[in-house]
Structures are given as C-alpha cells and as structure tokens.
Structure 1
Amino acid sequence: MNNLLIAIFAYLIDKKFGEFSFIKHPVIIIGELISFFEKKFYKNSITRGCLLVVFVLSVISFFSISLYLYLQFFNSFLNILISSFIASMFIAHKMLRDSVADILHVKNKKEALSMLVSRDTQHMSESDIYKAAIETYAENLSDGVIAPLFYLLLFNLPGIIIYKAINTMDSMVGYRNEKYENFGKCAAKLDDIANYIPSRLTALLITALAKQKNIFAFYKDGKKHESPNAGHPITAMALALHVKLGGDTSYFGKIKHKPYFGKGTDEITKEDVQNALKLL
C-alpha cells in the first residue's frame, strides 16, 4: 500500500511542479558516474561495457537501498512524503509533455524538435515535425513515466532509481556506432529487458484511454520496430489518433528505412499532437 501511495503522490508532484531548480537532478549525478567510468576505463569491448553496468548498478544499488532503509526509521507519513518527493524526480511526464507542447507554439519548430530527437530536422516538413513529436512522446511515455512508476510500485525507491540508472546508461552509451557498438551493448540489452513489460503496458494504457476495441491491435505493427519495445507505444498512439507513424527517416545525413506503424492519414497535423497530449 505504501508503494502505491508513493507512486500516486510522486506522479502528482511531477505533474504539478516538474523538475526542481533548487536541487541537482539525480539523473545528472547518475550521468556523471557513467562519464567518470567511461573517461577512466573506456575500451570498445563488450567486457568493458559490462563492467560499466556492474560498476554503476553497484554504486546506485548501494545508495538507493541505503536510502530506503534509512527512511524506514521515519514514521509512515514522513516516509511516504519524502519518498514521494524523491521518486518524483525520476518521473519526467511534465517535462516530456511541456517539451512536446512547446513545439506547437515556438517559431523555430525544427530547432525545438532537435532538442528531443536524434533524427535530422533541417529538411522536415511541418507534418514530419508533428509526426516526430508524437513518436517521441509515445516512446518516452514508457521510458519516462510508466516504467519508472512500474518499478516504483514493485520495489519502492530502489526500483525507480535503479531503473533510471539502467535507462540513463542506455541513453548515454547504448548506440550502434563505431564508438559504442561493443561498449554500449550490455547497457542496451539490459535496457531492453527492463522496458519489455512497461512498453507493452504503456501501449495497453494508450489503447484503453483511446477506447480501442482490440486492445492488442498495436502488436502487429509494434513488433516490426528494430527495438523490441519502442514500436508498441508508438503503434498504439498511431492507432489511437488514426494516423500513420514511422516510415523513412534521416539520421546523421543517412536515410533509415523504417516500417510504418498504425493505419490512417500520412499527413500529421497540429491537432494530432494536441490529441496525443490529451491522453493522460
């Protein structure tokens, strides 16, 4: 019951306040820990990348479990209050939603979008911009909201903090390029495992909120994505909005051929983004 209360309060705190400017964000600290190991011990090998994972998870697990045990000395009310405040910093719904919503209002939409995605934005049409905004919103609903809450519900503070450490490692080194192909493989695979259930849960929640009759309709197209997880919430969102997402996309000057997700119009509008953001 405590875990459920903490999850609810943490979500509401994030929804109301978002990031706190008066404190260093804990994900930045996790990133600094990853950077420390990389600078000292980087070698483009799978073994060295696995050592990074062991090092980061050992440090983060020790800290988060110690914090959890320390909070048990507080009375139940204070424990829930402090735990909710800490957990809210590992949920990113307000930041994600505000960042996507800003794209609708700023003059330079391409520049705003480039802060959220790794794809090339210079030559995007307005429809392409809106498509990318919806895709990143759907995918990050899993990584930034549902997955943290899922592990918070299961394992209290250690669950959400350790999950964010895994997710941060993947976002920093889990790339298939010359530098990280081997070094980041262990982190990327672990992130795939950690997000397996939350990504599908996110897709189910989107489907339920959109009142779709076939709650598993997302699976057919979702499994076509090169990621074992990202395609499911993206497809669920496409079906909810009656649009077609995915397709050929430019990354670092090269066209990447991607499958389509969902059924509907290819022309994505501002209203489609607004409707996506309404699915809370």
Structure 2
Amino acid sequence: MFFELAALAYLVDMIFGEFPCKHPVVLMGDFINGFERRFYSDRILPGALLVVGLITLALLVSTTLVYLCGLLPTWLSLIVLAIFASTGLAMNMLHDSVAALLTAEQPKQALSYLVSRDTKDMTETEVYKAGLETWAENLSDGVIAPLFYLLLFGLPGIAVYKAINTMDSMIAYKTERYFYFGKTAAIVDDIANYIPARLTALLIVALAKDKQRAWQCLWRDGNKLESPNAGFPIAAMAGALGVALGGDASYHGQIKHKPTLGLPLNPVDKSTLTRALQMKTGINLIVLGLLTIGAVLS
C-alpha cells in the first residue's frame, strides 16, 4: 500500500491545487485528439486501439518516472512522486469550478464548462441541480477514484486511471460519431469506477446530517441511472440534502429522460449548493485521517 505517497499527494493538492504548467490530462487529451484525427472510424476496433495505446503510454511514462525517482534519496523521491501524483487529484479544482456557479454573472455559461448537457434554456433551479450532480459525481471521478488507484498501485495506478477517465470524458458518448468508437472507453471507465463510486457514496452518507435518509436514498435510487456508477454518489447527495436530483435534461439538442433521485423535501437553490460544497472540509478530514492511520499501521 502507498499510504504515505497518497497522504502527501492529497496535501499537495489541498495546499497548491493546480500547478502553472501543462497538465498531464491536457497532454492525454492532445494524444486522444491526435489519434482521432488520424485513425477515427466509428467502429469498435479503432476506439479499442486508442484505449490500449493511451493506457500503455501512461503506464510507460509513469513507471519510468518511478524508476528515475528511485535513484534519488528516499525522502526526495517521495516528495517528487507526490507532486506528480497530486496532478491526478482534483479536489480544489472541482470545488472551485462548482463554487463559481454561486458568484458567476452568467451561471449558465459557467455551468457549460462543467457539463455536457445543454445549458442555454436552463432555469436557475436546473443550473444549481446540475452543479450538485457535478459535485457529487466528480467527487468520485476526480478525488476518490484516483486516490483509490494511487493507494493500490502507486503513480502508475493513478496515471492509468486518469487516462481511462480522460478518454471517457472525451469520446464515451452515445452520439452518432462516438457510439462505436467510444464504446471500449466507456466500458473500461465503468469497470474502473465501480468500487470508487460506491465508496464516494458511503463517504457522503457519513457526512450527512440525516444519515438514515441519505442511506435510504442511496439504497433505493443508486442504481436507477443508465450509468452503473454515477447514480450512487448523486443519490447519496440527494438524500443528504433532502432534495430531488436527476430528471430530464437536454443533451445535444435532444431531451434525455432520466429518473429522479432523492426526495423533494427542500428546494434546490444557491443555499443548497453551498451546503453541498461545505462537505469539502469533512471529506478532507476523513480522507487525511484514514490515510494517516494507514501510513502509521503499514
């Protein structure tokens, strides 16, 4: 287990956030775009080759970095590896991006940078609802999942996960262009996020004031969405706040019918999103506490 590395990487992300350099995820995105321009065909095979190629590249680069860091003194190696690993964690960036909806002059435009759904005709309630769903779902994708694979496999684990998640965010859509090309990326991402999504949901339940309601909504609604993973943290968040999330949304000009998660006990507004974002402190304390315990016992 890599508890010391994970704890230090989490602290680096908490304190410094994103570094002012080209982010590894951006480099992965450049690779995906380059591959797509040259080899795109809406068939499963080219998409599968992209998945294998990017995962292999992420694995090679990360293992090379681990080898090179092994030549350094142990304390310095740990610091350098933690800095690299912290680029795969996104708590600060996620929190700040969603919190921007609270102060933006044009919340719909701010939201459009975060979600793939159409935002132009959204009501204020729909904007904050989408913000809540983004916060809940991406606590898994951007924080718990990469931390999970960092703990299991070190830097190569978090690098491979970020490659998988980046491909999912760029090509795993059921549109005419990506239906087959992105299918392998979608399946691999579903597998990679299966455990982390459920761990994230349990973490949200642990932080809820009404834990029983949060657990009941998670148990009842967690598997209602088309995605095998996204519904779990969203249902837990809905139960924790006593609101209804999910429901119909517009994607690429077409209405997609989705079930409702949670209970409409409270309105979804700016104060609701504020309460959800305040969970950041509790999440940081729990995660760092568990990592510290793991480091001491390992």
Other-structure match for 2:284: none
Other-structure match for 1:4: 3
Residue 214 of structure 2 contacts residue 238 of structure 2 at CA under 8 Å; is this kept in 1? no
2:231 aligned partner, one-letter code? G
Other-structure match for 2:199: 201
Residues in 1 aligned to 2:121 and 2:38: alpha-carbon distance in whole angstroms? 39
Residues in 2 aligned to 1:266 and 1:173: alpha-carbon distance in whole angstroms? 36
- 5+ residue gaps, structure 2, are 281-298
Other-structure match for 2:19: 20
- 5+ residue gaps, structure 1, are none
The size of the alignment, in residue pairs, is 278
Is 1:47 the counterpart of 2:53? The answer is: no
RMSD: 1.4
User: Any idea what the Cα deviations from partners look like across 1:174-217, whole Å, max 9, x if unmatched?
Assistant: 11111111011001100000000000000000101115137753
Residue 43 of structure 1 contacts residue 183 of structure 1 at CA under 8 Å; is this kept in 2? yes
SS of alignment partner, residue 66 of structure 1: helix
Residue 70 of structure 2 contacts residue 77 of structure 2 at CA under 8 Å; is this kept in 1? yes
Residue 41 of structure 2 contacts residue 181 of structure 2 at CA under 8 Å; is this kept in 1? yes
User: Any idea what the Cα deviations from partners look like across 1:211-259, whole Å, max 9, x if unmatched?
Assistant: 5137753032010100000000000000111111011112222221110
1:35 aligned partner, one-letter code? N
Report percent identity of matched pairs. 53
SS of alignment partner, residue 104 of structure 1: helix
Per-residue deviation, 1:272: 0.7
Residues in 2 aligned to 1:264 and 1:62: alpha-carbon distance in whole angstroms? 48
Is 1:274 the counterpart of 2:274? The answer is: yes
Other-structure match for 1:174: 172
After TM superposition, the structure 1 stretch with the greater mean CA deviation from structure 2, 222-231 or 247-256, is 247-256
Other-structure match for 1:82: 80
Other-structure match for 1:99: 97
- For residue 191 of structure 1, the aligned residue among 182, 189, 192 is 189
SS of alignment partner, residue 124 of structure 1: coil
Normalising by structure 1, we get a TM-score of 0.95
Other-structure match for 2:252: 252
Residues in 1 aligned to 2:130 and 2:34: alpha-carbon distance in whole angstroms? 32
Residues in 2 aligned to 1:249 and 1:42: alpha-carbon distance in whole angstroms? 29
Is 1:34 the counterpart of 2:32? The answer is: yes
User: Any idea what the Cα deviations from partners look like across 1:42-94, whole Å, max 9, x if unmatched?
Assistant: 11111111111111111111111121122122222111111111111111111
Other-structure match for 1:155: 153
After TM superposition, the structure 1 stretch with the greater mean CA deviation from structure 2, 60-69 or 231-240, is 60-69
Other-structure match for 2:143: 145
1:127/1:265 CA distance change after superposition, 3 Å:
farther
1:6 aligned partner, one-letter code? L
2:3 aligned partner, one-letter code? L
Residues in 1 aligned to 2:215 and 2:192: alpha-carbon distance in whole angstroms? 21
Other-structure match for 1:126: 124
Residue 206 of structure 1 contacts residue 240 of structure 1 at CA under 8 Å; is this kept in 2? yes
SS of alignment partner, residue 279 of structure 2: coil
After TM superposition, the structure 1 stretch with the greater mean CA deviation from structure 2, 262-271 or 187-196, is 262-271
**Greater helix share, 1 or 2?**
2
Normalising by structure 2, we get a TM-score of 0.90
1:240 aligned partner, one-letter code? A
Residue 128 of structure 2 contacts residue 273 of structure 2 at CA under 8 Å; is this kept in 1? yes
Residue 204 of structure 1 contacts residue 215 of structure 1 at CA under 8 Å; is this kept in 2? no
Residues in 2 aligned to 1:81 and 1:214: alpha-carbon distance in whole angstroms? 41
Residues in 2 aligned to 1:122 and 1:102: alpha-carbon distance in whole angstroms? 17
SS of alignment partner, residue 212 of structure 2: coil
> Where do residues 54-73 of structure 1 align in structure 2 (5 Å cutoff)?
54-73=52-71
